[in-house]
Structures are given as C-alpha cells and as structure tokens.
Structure 1
Amino acid sequence: MSKIRRFLTINQNKIEIFQKGKNGTPIIILTGMDCSFDEWYEVTESLSKSNRVIMFHRPGQGASEIRNEVRNTQTVVNEVSELMQSLKLSEPVVLVGHSYSGLCVQHFVKEHPKKVAGIVLVDSTSVDLKILDDLDLPVLNEGSTDEIWMEKCHSYSQMTREELREVINPTLTEKQKLLPNDIQQRLISFQINPSLYKAMHSEISNWKRDGDMIKNLVEYPDIPLIVIGRDKEYNIRLGTKEGIPEWELRLFEEKWQELIMNQVNLTSNSKFIIAQGASHSIHIDRPDIIVQSINKINSLFN
C-alpha cells in the first residue's frame, strides 16, 4: 500500500483509515471504545509483513468525523460492511475485535457470516455485560458505572482540546513511550479530542441493549474463533496497588473471565487463551499473543 493512512467517506462521514501490507488474507482490526489504532503499532508491524492489515477510527475517534448519528453496534456493522465494499474486499476476512469492538464483531459475524473467514476476540465485551452490574462492588463502582461515565463523557464532549488537556492530563504508558515519536504525539492528541467523548457517550448508552439484541439474532456461524482473555491475577495485583479491595477485584475479575470463556462456546471450532501478564490492553502488554492467534486463524485456510 502506498498510503498507510488516508480517508474514505463512509456513511457520509470522512473516516480515517489505516492500511499496511498487500498480501495474504485481509485482516480487519476493530479497536476498543477509547483506543487509537496507533496503539496497535507492534501488532500491525508484524502482521503486515505477510497480510493486508486494515484498521479505521470510528466516527469521533482520531481524525474521523462524527455527526449526530446513534453510535451502536449496528452502526459499526454497517460501517465495516461499507468499508469492505469501498476497499473492494471480495474475499472473506479475518475479523479482530478488542473490548467494545468485540461486541461489534459478534454482531457483524451474525449479520454477514459469508464475509468472515475467522475471528479473534481480544478481551471482548460480552453480550451479557449487564451481569456485571449485579456485582456488589462499592469501591470499584464508585466512579465507574455507566451513568457516571456517560455524565463524564457528555461533560468532556463540551470542552475544548485545551480544557481537556487540563482536566485529563493525557499520559502514555511506559510501553507506549517506546513507540515512534510521531505515534506518541498522535496518542496524546487522541485523548484530548472532544468528539471522542461524544462517540463514547452514545456507545455506552446503547451497549447493553446491543448485547441483548445480538443474542437474539441468528445462530453464530461455525467458523474458526480464538478468544483471548486478560490475566486475572495480574489485574488483581494492579488493582490492589491502587488501593482497591482485593475481594472486589477478585469478584469482578472472576466474573469477567467467566463471560470471556463463555465466548468460546460461540462455535465448535474455537480456542481460549489467557494472555499471561496482560491487562485489558492486551495489544500493548502482549502483542505477540495477538499476532500468534491471528496467524493461527490464517493457517487454517491458507
């Protein structure tokens, strides 16, 4: 590909596209709710040596435009379908979804089974995510319920970039500080974009209804699937260092892992992997696990 980053018009929005590599089965990676495709640098650098890798910033993310459309999994499904059409992808693709986008992938595969050759779900949001609301987690829930996040996102969406910089004080992880300087700058800029929080507000307000709706769609097609979950004990250790009670963290992490493991039952041709030493950001902590999983899916039909 001569242009790694460019723009396409999708659903009347100017959308920022990333493409690298030009051989092999196309791989489409959908990022999490507040995640830039630049965070996936190590994954895409490795995969693009043998495959065509495609990513995009959903409306509101990065330099992608957003209007007043509803942001839900159906909208993302339509955008991915239109993206494939615009890029003239006629063959089935490997579809990768992280976090919220794992929910979108589960929706897409049910609606367009013939367009997908294999799936990798990376610590994916569950269609049963509302079960997490039933857990008694007084400290964890103190500032992180959907309602609180929606209120924050609405407030942030009304601010300027300069105001967001003051409020959020955007930072990079130690591993992100090892990335090329231009990517580091884009990752900082990504966090202080008011449009990002406009999009997140809409996605959060709809995701539980989306989960219920996806469950009631047609049966999941029996195609190759790898489910990657984060390291439960590692996340508990991280949380206790921040002063969160271990019993709350263990209750949450055990339920989260149970929901992740349930995704293995979506097909009969599936595998579950725990990314040892990884937080929810597996693409940053253990990019090797993601690359190995995608290559494993690729090997099944190449």
Structure 2
Amino acid sequence: MGKISQFLIINQNKIEILQKGQNGTPIIILTGMGCSFDEWYEVTESLSKSNRVIMFHRPGLGASEIGHGVRNTQTVVNEVSEMIRLLKLSEPVVLVGHSYGGLCVQHFVKEYPEKVAGIVLVDSTSVDLKVLDDLNVPVLNEGSTDEIWMEKCRAYSQMKREELRGIINPTLTEKQKLLPNDIQKRLMNFQINPSLYEAMYSEISNWKRDGEIIKNLKVYLDIPLIVISRDKEYTIKFGTMDGLPEWELRLFEEKWQELIMNQVNLTLKSKFYIAQGASHSIHFDRPDIIVQSINEINSLFI
C-alpha cells in the first residue's frame, strides 16, 4: 500500500505522480483547480488497501513543470491518456474528478470511453457553468468573477515565492492540521508556487469554452456513473455565518445543484448522491461517501 512518488515526462514536461496500492482496478483521481493531490490523503489511504490509486499534479501545480502550452480540458485529456500509456495501464480505469477535475473527466470519457470502466463526479464543474454568470448575486460576485480571479492569478504568477507567502499567508484548515506533518508542509508550500497561478489563469481563461466543446461531443455512453453533490443547506448555513445574504446563496446553490443533477445524463447508468454535511470540499468533509461511491463502481467488476 506504500506511497510511490515519481515523475513522468509528458509533453516534454516533468510531471509529479502519486501512486498508492498495487491491486484491483486502477483509480485515477483528478483534483480541482489549484488543488493538491495531498488534500486527498484520507481518500487515497482508504482506497489503496484494495486498489491501485493514481493522481498527478497538472503542469504548474506542485513539482510539475508548467511548460508553455495552453491549460484547458483538452490538454488534460491528452496528459491523462499519455499517463495511462506510460504507466502501462492495460485495463479500463475508474475516473474520479472533483470540481474542475470533473470537467476534465467529462471531456476524457467522451474522447476515450473505451479506457474508462466507471466514473465518479464529485461536485464537478458543469459544462453549463456559464449560466452561473447570469445569476443576480452581486455580493457573491464581488471579488470573485472570472475576470477578477484571472487578474489576481496573473499578478501572483509574476511574484517570488516569499512575496506570495506574505500576501497569501497560507494556512491550514482544522481538518488539514490532522494530516501527517509532511503532508501539511507540502500543502503550505503548494499555495506559494507562482506557476500554480499561471496554470490557474490559463484554466479559468478557457473553462467556459471547454464546457461548450464538451457539450458538443455527442457520444453515446453506457458507463457506470455516480454523481455526488455538496449539501446545499449546509453550504448556505455557513455562507450566512460569513455574512453573505441568504437569498443570494440560495439562488446560487439551487442553480449549482441543478447543474450537478444534470450530470447524471452523461451516461445511461447513473446514480445521484448528496453528501450530507459537506461543502464543495467533499473530500475533506465526507471522504467516506467518495470512498463508498468508488467502491460501489468497483463492485461491478468483481
């Protein structure tokens, strides 16, 4: 079950790979935008007891080289396909995607359905994410539009690590403080990497266009899928505790859950679960439901 850290050369970039476990159907987990695979420690520790689990840091994240290419879902699809080839994964894999990683999973399965045995989407970005821009939520949008995030990412990408440390002041959540010390240190350093923000700038620049491209890939899929949504009421409750207007939160969360529920239409074999008591970071709040869902997909192949 030991952790194997290594690097692969993909598209001439050195890419950081995490592998745990050696048996069972391979599970590839794609993280959200700007997220480290170390955040998934609890999930991967559990899954690796019965399966080979593989994660990677997209170019610019962690110790992966940023390179010079455009960061979009098509690029990630190509990288995952090459990773599968280099790791000599001859059998179809279970693909898990959280947030932006889920958008990449939706793209991958439409291009390479023969390489996928099952899918778990964890509060995944929707191919229709642009409709969120039409919501009348001025307070929620204050400081958090794509344009504002891109401006921040562009500025951060041009700073030195210590300059970023002073501005971002990286901290850990209470749940992250329960992780092993080496993981905590990696998570702190992960946030002050200028290339992280260069990658995020490119991903944000392209993700709405990516959503349209994925929607237009008309592919008949008959692959087992589980869609997991965050808890709408839980998210609204904590948003109001931060001083955000409840009516805006409710409008946004109802639309978000609608978009998540629509993802069951990706295949003919799908289920939908709500992760009770979980925010967008379901892998922290309810790792059990992710493990349960992956094991449920896995049980189809035993």
Query: Under a length normalisation based on structure 1, what TM-score does the superposition of the two structures give?
Result: 0.99
CA offset at residue 2 of structure 1? Answer: 6.4
Question: Is contact 1:109–1:220 with CA below 8 Å preserved after alignment?
Answer: no
Kindly provide the amino acid, as one letter, of the partner of residue 194 in structure 1: P
**In 1: Cα distance, 2:275 partner to 2:220 partner:** 25
Task: List aligned pairs for 1:92-131, cutoff 5 A.
Answer: 92-131=92-131
Deviation per residue, 1:212-257 (Å, 9 max, x gap): 0001113241100000000000100111111110000000000000
Query: Is 1:174 the counterpart of 2:182 in the alignment?
Result: no
Query: Is 1:249 the counterpart of 2:249 in the alignment?
Result: yes
The alignment-based identity, stated in percent, is: 84
CA offset at residue 60 of structure 1? Answer: 0.5
Kindly provide the amino acid, as one letter, of the partner of residue 219 in structure 2: E
**In 2: Cα distance, 1:191 partner to 1:299 partner:** 37
SS of 1:221 mapped into structure 2: coil
**In 2: Cα distance, 1:34 partner to 1:263 partner:** 23
Task: List aligned pairs for 1:268-283, cutoff 5 A.
Answer: 268-283=268-283
> What is the aligned residue count?
302
RMSD, matched Cα: 0.9
Query: Is 1:229 the counterpart of 2:229 in the alignment?
Result: yes
Deviation per residue, 1:71-125 (Å, 9 max, x gap): 0000000000000000000100000000001000000000000000000000000
CA offset at residue 34 of structure 1? Answer: 1.2
58-67 or 3-12, larger mean C-alpha shift: 3-12
**In 2: Cα distance, 1:6 partner to 1:268 partner:** 37
**Alignment partner, residue 287 of structure 2:** 287
Deviation per residue, 1:18-58 (Å, 9 max, x gap): 00100000000000011100000000000000000000000
**In 1: Cα distance, 2:250 partner to 2:30 partner:** 28
**In 2: Cα distance, 1:137 partner to 1:148 partner:** 15
SS of 2:144 mapped into structure 1: coil
**In 2: Cα distance, 1:19 partner to 1:229 partner:** 26
Question: Is contact 1:264–1:271 with CA below 8 Å preserved after alignment?
Answer: yes
SS of 2:301 mapped into structure 1: coil
**Alignment partner, residue 39 of structure 1:** 39
Question: Is contact 2:236–2:250 with CA below 8 Å preserved after alignment?
Answer: yes
**In 2: Cα distance, 1:256 partner to 1:136 partner:** 14
SS of 1:300 mapped into structure 2: helix
SS of 2:173 mapped into structure 1: coil
235-244 or 71-80, larger mean C-alpha shift: 235-244
Task: List aligned pairs for 1:2-151, cutoff 5 A.
Answer: 4-151=4-151
Question: Is contact 2:60–2:196 with CA below 8 Å preserved after alignment?
Answer: yes
Kindly provide the amino acid, as one letter, of the partner of residue 170 in structure 2: P
Structure 2: gaps (5+ residues): none
Question: Is contact 1:95–1:120 with CA below 8 Å preserved after alignment?
Answer: yes
**In 2: Cα distance, 1:223 partner to 1:233 partner:** 31
Structure 1: gaps (5+ residues): none
Structure 1 residues 3 and 256, CA gap change in structure 2 (3 angstroms): closer
Question: Is contact 2:221–2:268 with CA below 8 Å preserved after alignment?
Answer: no
**Alignment partner, residue 215 of structure 1:** 215
Question: Is contact 1:239–1:249 with CA below 8 Å preserved after alignment?
Answer: yes
**In 2: Cα distance, 1:5 partner to 1:218 partner:** 37
CA offset at residue 266 of structure 1? Answer: 1.4
Question: Is contact 2:126–2:260 with CA below 8 Å preserved after alignment?
Answer: yes
Kindly provide the amino acid, as one letter, of the partner of residue 251 in structure 1: L
**In 2: Cα distance, 1:177 partner to 1:146 partner:** 30
**In 2: Cα distance, 1:216 partner to 1:138 partner:** 31
Structure 1 residues 231 and 2, CA gap change in structure 2 (3 angstroms): closer
261-270 or 127-136, larger mean C-alpha shift: 261-270
SS of 1:95 mapped into structure 2: strand
**In 2: Cα distance, 1:220 partner to 1:240 partner:** 42
**In 2: Cα distance, 1:251 partner to 1:2 partner:** 45
**In 1: Cα distance, 2:160 partner to 2:80 partner:** 30
Question: Is contact 1:19–1:52 with CA below 8 Å preserved after alignment?
Answer: yes
Deviation per residue, 1:114-142 (Å, 9 max, x gap): 00000000000000000000001110001
Query: Under a length normalisation based on structure 2, what TM-score does the superposition of the two structures give?
Result: 0.99
CA offset at residue 267 of structure 1? Answer: 1.5
**In 2: Cα distance, 1:203 partner to 1:152 partner:** 13
